[in-house]
Amino acid sequence: MANEPLYKVPTNHRLLLAARPVGVPGPENFTADAVPARAPAVGEVLLETLYLSLDPAMRSWMSEGTSYKQGIPLGDVMLGGGIARVLHSCAEGFVTGDLVQARLGWQTHPTIAGRYLQKLALTLGSAEDWIGPLGLSAVTAYFGLRDIGGLRSNDRVLVSAAAGGVGQIAVQIARIEGCRVVGIAGGAQKCAFITDELGAAVAIDYKTEKDLSAAIARACPDGIDIYFDNVGGPTLDAALEHLRPGARVVLCGRISQTHAAEPYGVRNLGRLSAARGRMQGFLVFNYHDRYDEARTWLAARRRDGSLRQRLHVLDGLVQAPIGLGMLFRGENSGKLVVRVAEG
Amino acid sequence: MANEPLYKVPTNHRLLLAARPVGVPGPENFTADAVPARAPAVGEVLLETLYLSLDPAMRSWMSEGTSYKQGIPLGDVMLGGGIARVLHSCAEGFVTGDLVQARLGWQTHPTIAGRYLQKLALTLGSAEDWIGPLGLSAVTAYFGLRDIGGLRSNDRVLVSAAAGGVGQIAVQIARIEGCRVVGIAGGAQKCAFITDELGAAVAIDYKTEKDLSAAIARACPDGIDIYFDNVGGPTLDAALEHLRPGARVVLCGRISQTHAAEPYGVRNLGRLSAARGRMQGFLVFNYHDRYDEARTWLAARRRDGSLRQRLHVLDGLVQAPIGLGMLFRGENSGKLVVRVAEG
């Protein structure tokens, strides 16, 4: 019939940023609404969100603003990256059923310009692989260790938040490249995961170690060539005490500082200096034109079984704010994702 | 006559480390003695010390030990580098009258193996040049800025202790390479020296600035590409607040921390991370095989008049301990040296 729509307009369930967080964020920072999905204009695509990734950086997006990013305006859809399926395409290169990766936002049915979508190469892995071991957390670990850390085989590598999204991949990349790896995490379960599943030589449970520096000394008797830092703060200070000459410190994350009342003062930079060490920060987005290199490497290690990833899956968009709280309380076991719809 | 000695044995006046310093070192840490100079064995050279260099690193040599160097044993001759003239040579390649550079120690007439001596290339500069703009402080500035800092023309460069031995050369190398340079120093005289003689765009007097970060913001309105850090501590923290994307922090010295009761905690490493910045320590000795490269470059700039160095000369070995105190109280104006004998 003449007036029949080309497709059924779905309801877009959204979570909007309602209040900037004080401390650990949670459901109280968001409001839910439901609106008709916006019809795609020429060049745009209507999507159905399958997975959303929960990452430490999201906390800073919820604040007023940071040095490298404006905060999300109150009332806007919460930002977040993930995997979606194309429902209706008005953009060249995309057809219904394609799987894509994009900054979808916390909504079930985003409408996004095709130029902001990356079609998943399913030859490399499934949708679950793309949110996990081929996702941005994994790509972050890859470039952090290799380009920033200058990874060499036989390096002695220490990784903090080693059971987390980035950390667990960093542990494995270093192990695959022939390094001795020590991981730091909170709790016996995570520590067992790090040694038994990821192949670290030793795991340090920071929750039971009174003296983290002494624990690192025992776990890394020859010192550290690379410290892959996901937490900052006192853990960074403790790691600095054990740098070998020419060591590299990869500043990847600072989750310990996200909710600190005031920033921790790092006292041991003299050790970096004495070790002729290098400490460097980075943003994975700066490697955008080399994502394929990382994913090809990661997919090959995924296929040969040497690279694992544990996903911690929460079901339903409504769980996203709860998951954010779990992330910052260290309650997740594995890379934390929200399954918004079945693939 | 048969029993006439080959040369007159001079008296070697020495300063021995008598007590490890608490706080700023001074004459109370040393005792003087005088012994006949030791006759050179085969392969050795008897020297007459002309100049000794006073450098911040010497304070750490006086302590029990550091992570990269054992402390000087009590009762031993104080360590120190400088320029000397050959009085009598039993080593191939050296003849009476040659000028050499070596770790002479605080003594007027050291006897040292020829393999530890570097003959001065007087084509590059005079003995005064070799203790000054061709000396290790200058070579440190060269490799720190270029290799560690990755100096590029048009970089915005901030240098602390900018009137000091390393700092004044760093300011000038950056200026010669086309950078806009801001120097930090204590006192109006040093600040005038930095702008008027060294060619910095702005000098910041840390003694009169209540808010160093605000002063840096005014002096560096476009931020900082390279921070050449000679002081550490709160100055480093203030500089970190103004890093541009991709900035480099050269950890050259930490004179503010030398006598700190406890180490200052650096709070702004998050800025390094957000700027994707790099912070790196180094030891000039690691560039030993490239000293000639640095000196050739420095000598050429010396000859064409673009590179200046102000020496602060103290006369007589007895002044060395006093000079060390001046150095750590910031009372020197220029690269501090002790003239032990006339060249």
For tokens 């550290």, what's the residue? A224
User: For strand A156-159 and strand A202-205, is the pairing parallel, antiparallel, or unpaired?
Assistant: unpaired
Q: Calculate the CA A218 to chain-centre distance.
A: 29
Report the length, in residues, of chain B: 343
Q: How confident is the model over A95-123, as a mean pLDDT? A: 96
CA–CA distance, A198 with A209 (Å, rounded to integer) = 21
CA-based nearest residue in chain A for residue B267: A265
- Section A204-208 average pLDDT: 97
Contact A97, A119 (CB under 8 A): no
Cα A19 to Cα A22, A30, A71, A74, A270: the distances in Å are: 9, 7, 12, 7, 41
Across the interface, of A236, A271, A281, the residue whose CB is closest to B276 is A281
pLDDT, tens digit, 9 for 90 and up, residues B248-290: 999 998 888 877 778 899 999 999 999 999 999 998 988 999 9
What is the mean predicted confidence (pLDDT) over B117-145?
A: 93
What CA–CA distance (Å, rounded) separates B157 from B170? Answer: 9
Q: B2 pLDDT exceeds 60?
A: no
pLDDT (tens digit per residue) in B27-66: 999 999 999 999 999 999 999 999 999 998 898 889 886 5
Q: What's the confidence (pLDDT) of residue A25? A: 94
Q: How far is CA B304 from the centre of its chain?
A: 23
What's A173-203 look like in SS3? Answer: HHHHCCCEEEEEECCHHHHHHHHHHCCCCEE
Model confidence at A334: pLDDT above 50: yes
A→B interface, C-beta within 8 Å: 66-68, 232, 236, 245, 251, 254, 257, 262-283, 286
Q: How many CB atoms lie within 10 A of CB A77?
A: 18
Q: Which domains does chain A have, with CATH numbers?
A: 11-132+309-339 (3.90.180.10), 136-284 (3.40.50.720)
pTM greater than 0.95 (yes/no):
no
Residue range A284-299: mean pLDDT, rounded: 94
Cα separation of A231 and A250, whole Å? 11
- CA nearest to A169, candidates A7, A297, A28: A297
Which chain A residue's Cα is nearest to B258?
A270
Residues of chain A with C-beta less than 8 angstroms from the C-beta of B160: none
Distance of alpha carbon A341 from the chain centroid: 20
Q: Which of B251, B269, B282 sits opposite A251 (nearest CB)?
A: B269
d(CA B198, CA B189): 13
**Nearest-CA distance from A249 to chain B in Å?**
9
Contacts of A264 in chain B (CB under 8 A): 265, 267
**A271 pLDDT higher than 80:** yes
Buried b (16+ CB within 10 A) or exposed e, B206-217: beebeebbebbe
Per-residue model confidence (pLDDT) at position B53: 95
In a 3-state reduction of DSSP, which class is residue B69? Answer: coil
Chain B residues whose beta carbon lies within 8 Å of the beta carbon of residue A277? 280-281
Task: Kindly report the length of chain A.
Answer: 343
Residue A52 contacts residue A82 (beta carbons within 8 Å): yes
Q: What is the mean pLDDT of chain A?
A: 93
A220-229 residue pLDDT tens = 999 999 999 9
Q: For A256, which residue in chain B has the nearest alpha carbon?
A: B270
CB within 8 A of B33, min separation 6: which ones? B13, B14, B16
Nearest chain B CA: its distance from A67 CA (Å): 7
For B302-339, what is each residue's pLDDT tens digit? 999 999 988 999 999 999 999 999 999 988 888 899 99
Q: Is the pLDDT of residue B190 over 80?
A: yes
- Between β-strands A99-103 and A118-119, what pairing exists: parallel, antiparallel or unpaired? antiparallel
Q: Which residues of B touch A236 (CB under 8 A)?
A: 269
Residue with tokens 């980075």: A282
pLDDT over 70 at B94, yes or no: yes
Q: Do A276 and B270 lie within an 8 Å CB cutoff?
A: no
Q: What is the DSSP string of B188-252?
A: HHHHHIIIIIT--SEEEETTT-S-HHHHHHHH-TT-EEEEEESS-HHHHHHHHTTEEEEEEEEE-
Percent helix, percent strand, percent coil in chain B, to nearest 5 = 30, 25, 40
Q: Please tell me whether residue A53 adopts helix, strand or coil conformation.
A: strand
pLDDT of residue A169: 97
Strands B335-339 and B311-315: parallel
Report ipTM (2 d.p.): 0.82
B34: which strand partners?
B13
| pLDDT of res. A297 | 97
Give the minimum alpha-carbon distance from A208 to chain B in angstroms, rounded to a whole number.
Answer: 25
Of the pLDDT bands very low, low, confident and very high (cuts 50, 70, 90), residue A212 is very high
Residue A1 has pLDDT above 50, yes or no: no
Number of Cβ atoms within 10 Å of the Cβ of B35:
11
Which residue reads 């070995």 in tokens?
B317
Q: Is the pLDDT of residue A172 over 70?
A: yes
Q: Is the pLDDT of residue B237 over 50?
A: yes
- Which residues in chain A have their CB less than 8 angstroms from residue B274's CB? 66-68, 281
Residue type, A73: P
- Is residue A338 within 8 Å of residue A50, measured between CB atoms? no
Say if residues B275 and A281 touch (Cβ distance below 8 Å): yes
> Which residues of chain A are within 8 Å of residue B263 when distances are taken between CB atoms?
267-268, 270
A52-72 average pLDDT score: 80
Using alpha carbons only, give the angle B1, B4, B5 rounded to the nearest 5 degrees: 155
In angstroms, rounded to a whole number, what is the distance separating the alpha carbons of residues B324 and B328? 7
Burial class (CB in 10 A: 0-12, 13-18, 19+), A201: middle
Whether residue B1 has pLDDT greater than 50:
no
Contacts of B276 in chain A (CB under 8 A): 280-283, 286
Of B66, B232, B286, the CB nearest to A276: B286
Three-state DSSP class for B329? coil
pLDDT of residue A309: 87
Alpha helices in chain A (DSSP H): 58-61, 127-131, 136-143, 165-176, 188-192, 212-219, 233-240, 269-274, 291-303, 320-329
pLDDT at A14 over 50: yes
Residue of B nearest to A57 (CA): B274
Instruction: Report, as an integer, the average pLDDT of A261-281.
Output: 93
DSSP secondary structure letter of residue A280? E
Q: How confident is the model at residue A96 (pLDDT cuts 50, 70, 90)?
A: very high
Kindly tell me the number of DSSP H helices and DSSP E strands found in chain B: 10, 15
Instruction: Give the closest residue to B273 by CA, choosing from A286, A335, A51, A127.
Output: A286
Give the three-state DSSP class for B266: strand
Asked if residue A289 has pLDDT above 80, the reply is yes
